[in-house]
DNA sequence: CAGCGTCGTTGTGCTGGCTCAACCTCGGGA
DNA sequence: TCCCGAGGTTGAGCCAGCACAACGACGCTG
């Protein structure tokens, strides 16, 4: 549980181009929090007072409905800023942030935000970029929820998680933080029961191997096939446009 | 079809705090496009070369799947910048932008972006803010798609549209741009058939009045009731937290 | 080591909304 | 004037996935 140092901070994308003195200065202004897995970082509706940087661990953004459902909107990996209502013009947090595993979080008061943005152009630019990625992920989720079957959505969710936080282990790639069937259900708009059945079948087929709060994908390729994404998602660059896409758009 | 002038530009949030000389300068650098309803502004997968400001009209962001489904991700009202891959670190457009009605669009080459951002702090800040709102909307959509029935989602979609682009008319509020049942279906992840049935029933109940490509909401209050949102959505500020929300989060 | 809470599995029935299908209505073009 | 295509309505049947239900397995705490 040693305190974070400037070297560690300089690894984080928004800070990577700062000099040693600036890094130390940023550290001096920061509050360090060690957050246990499952604990809340901030809650939907709370006023935004500080903005945060996740040094290590994983944060889950979730929304709770009046009926008691919880929906996992995003997972934040280490190295990203989050809870930046100060930049987004939000007085209160729009989501609840919960530590998926043990986390180390730096935070600064809102007033520091413009200082950081002014310190060098890269800071705001890097944050913009991270936000573009999050917007893309959300738009992908909307497309999935609108068009895909539960089975495909679960496959997409697993692939997304091993893509963002996968850890190579013997015989496959495991999801880098504790995850329950219920969590997967909360990500895909399905029920615990359906997800459980699905993983059982996939385990029998040798596609995944799972245990309590742990999922290892042993055959990602087959999962991609199930997920039904041709390749259009997440791969950037000049992709050729499949003619079928225009079925309804053009006459 | 007269050309836009500096006065018009100064109405737009990202430009509202610029002086006359700066406005004229921005205008001089801009390309003006008049886009007919239904025409494409840019397409998913195309390289990002310019960023845009919508002077008037409405833009629809949509995604097309390989199966030929189209999903409407967002509607952009006049006054917002869009297609700013240059800021978000995106080489290619992630969505297709189509004019919902006749639009006037200003656009600038990517290289101008940092110039605008440097010209005054408010430009980047205002764009950030607009992006925060879009992220909120998408996160709301994800929650809706995950937890609500089609009927509630359609009600939410109508309410969102009259909230963003509603026009007061005799006997209700009409959606401020042409919209088909298919469009509504594309927004809610439903089918044309289901939406059509639903609007028929609502018309009989006196909740809406609709015609070809037009929907007028005559009883928004009843629509809110159907949509099933207590009030948690879109209203900002310190809302009290309903205890039911913690049903599953706390033991 | 007993008790309990969390997490997971599996079976059974039911239903919201999709698919398939047929038909209607309006508006524009030749 | 007729035709044609886009948009809209309505009916019938079916099935993916949810609700309900009961049980099993692990790991903590006292």
Summarised one tens digit per residue, pLDDT across range A162-191 is: 999 999 999 999 999 999 999 999 999 999
Strand C: positions under 7 A of a protein C-beta atom: 5-11, 16-21, 26-27
Token output for B178: 């042409």
Do A175 and A161 meet the contact criterion of CB atoms below 8 Å apart?
yes
Reported as a single tens digit per residue, the pLDDT across B42-66 is 999 999 999 999 999 999 999 999 9
Please check whether strand D approaches the CB of A214 to within 7 Å: no
The span from the CA of A75 to the CA of A11, in Å, is: 20
The span from the CA of B69 to the CA of B117, in Å, is: 37
Q: Is B234's pLDDT higher than 90?
A: no
Paired strand residues for B109: B50
- B238 touches A: beta carbon within 8 Å: yes
- CB contacts under 8 A, B 186-205 vs A, are 188-189
The span from the CA of A175 to the CA of A214, in Å, is: 7
The span from the CA of B145 to the CA of A146, in Å, is: 7
The span from the CA of B46 to the CA of A37, in Å, is: 42
Q: Is A236's pLDDT higher than 90?
A: no
Paired strand residues for B77: B58
- What pLDDT sits at residue B238? 34
- What pLDDT sits at residue B125? 87
User: How close A216 comes to chain B (CA, Å)?
Assistant: 25
Do B165 and B77 meet the contact criterion of CB atoms below 8 Å apart?
yes
The span from the CA of B223 to the CA of B173, in Å, is: 12
DSSP code per residue over A43-62: -TTSB--EEEEEEESEEEEE
Strand D: positions under 7 A of a protein C-beta atom: 5-12, 16-21, 26-27
Q: Chain B: residue nearest A66 by CA?
A: B245
Q: Is A36's pLDDT higher than 70?
A: yes
Report chain B's C-alpha Rg in angstroms: 20
User: How would residue B183 be classed by pLDDT, with cut points 50, 70 and 90?
Assistant: very high
Select from B168, B170, B169, B190 the least CA-distant residue to B181: B190
- What pLDDT sits at residue B248? 53
Token output for A248: 């309804």
Q: Which of residues 161-220 of B touch strand C (CB under 7 A)?
A: 189-191, 193-194, 212
- What pLDDT sits at residue A125? 87
Q: Is B110's pLDDT higher than 50?
A: yes
Largest CA distance in chain A: 63
The SS3 of residue A146 is helix
- What pLDDT sits at residue A1? 53
Please check whether strand C approaches the CB of A213 to within 7 Å: yes
- CB contacts under 8 A, A 124-153 vs B, are 124-125, 128-129, 131-136, 138-139, 141-143, 145-147
Number of Cβ atoms within 10 Å of the Cβ of B133: 16
Contact A142 B138 (CB under 8 A): yes
User: How would residue A110 be classed by pLDDT, with cut points 50, 70 and 90?
Assistant: very high
The span from the CA of B59 to the CA of B81, in Å, is: 11
Q: Which helix (H) or strand (E) holds B151?
A: helix B150-165
Q: Is A18's pLDDT higher than 90?
A: no
Question: Which residues in chain B are contacts of A143 at CB distance < 8 A?
Answer: 63, 65, 71, 73
Contacting residues for A75 by C-beta, under 8 A, at least 6 apart: A58, A59, A60, A61, A100, A161, A164, A165, A177
CB pairs under 8 A between A and B: 168
Rounded to the nearest integer, the mean pLDDT of chain B is 89
Do A14 and A127 meet the contact criterion of CB atoms below 8 Å apart?
yes
| Cα angle: B97, vertex B100, B102; to 5 degrees | 105
User: How would residue A97 be classed by pLDDT, with cut points 50, 70 and 90?
Assistant: very high
Average pLDDT over residues B155-184: 96
Average pLDDT over residues A33-54: 96
User: How would residue A249 be classed by pLDDT, with cut points 50, 70 and 90?
Assistant: very low
Burial A140-169 (b: 16+ CB within 10 A, else e): bbbbbbbbbeebbbbbbbbbbbbebbbeee
Reported as a single tens digit per residue, the pLDDT across B193-233 is 999 999 999 999 999 999 999 999 999 999 999 998 754 44
- What pLDDT sits at residue B121? 75
Query: Residues for chain B: how many in total?
Result: 251
- CB contacts under 8 A, A 10-69 vs B, are 43-45, 47, 63-69
Please check whether strand C approaches the CB of A147 to within 7 Å: no
- B248 touches A: beta carbon within 8 Å: yes
Question: Which residues in chain A are contacts of B134 at CB distance < 8 A?
Answer: 135
Q: Is B153's pLDDT higher than 90?
A: yes
- What pLDDT sits at residue B122? 80
Please check whether strand C approaches the CB of B149 to within 7 Å: yes
Pick from A45, A63, A90: CB nearest B238? A45
pTM, 2 dp: 0.92
Do A36 and A58 meet the contact criterion of CB atoms below 8 Å apart?
no
Pick from A85, A128, A143: CB nearest B65? A143
- What pLDDT sits at residue A122? 80
Average pLDDT over residues A24-35: 94
């Amino acid at each position: 549980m040693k305190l974070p140092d400037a070297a560690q901070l300089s690894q984080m994308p928004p800070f990577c181009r700062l000099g040693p003195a600036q890094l130390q200065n940023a550290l001096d202004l920061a509050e360090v929090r060690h957050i246990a897995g499952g604990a809340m970082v901030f809650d939907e509706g709370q006023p935004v007072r500080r903005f945060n940087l996740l040094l290590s661990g994983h944060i889950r953004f979730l929304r709770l409905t009046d009926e008691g459902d919880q929906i996992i909107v995003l997972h934040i990996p280490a190295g990203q800023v989050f809870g930046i209502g100060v930049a987004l013009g939000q007085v209160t947090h729009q989501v609840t942030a919960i530590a998926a595993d043990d986390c180390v979080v730096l935070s600064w008061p809102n007033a520091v935000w413009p200082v950081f943005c002014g310190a060098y152009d890269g800071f705001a630019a890097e944050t913009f970029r991270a936000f573009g990625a999050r917007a893309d992920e959300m738009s992908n989720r909307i497309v999935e929820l609108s068009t895909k079957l539960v089975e495909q959505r679960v496959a997409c969710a697993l692939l997304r998680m091993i893509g963002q936080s996968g850890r190579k282990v013997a015989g496959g790639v495991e999801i880098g933080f504790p995850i329950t069937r219920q969590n997967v259900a909360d990500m895909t708009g399905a029920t615990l029961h359906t997800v459980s059945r699905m993983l059982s079948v996939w385990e029998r087929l040798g596609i995944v191997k799972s245990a309590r709060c742990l999922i290892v994908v042993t055959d990602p390729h087959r999962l991609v096939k199930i997920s039904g994404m041709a390749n259009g998602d997440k791969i950037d660059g000049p992709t050729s446009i499949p003619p079928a896409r225009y079925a309804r758009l053009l006459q």
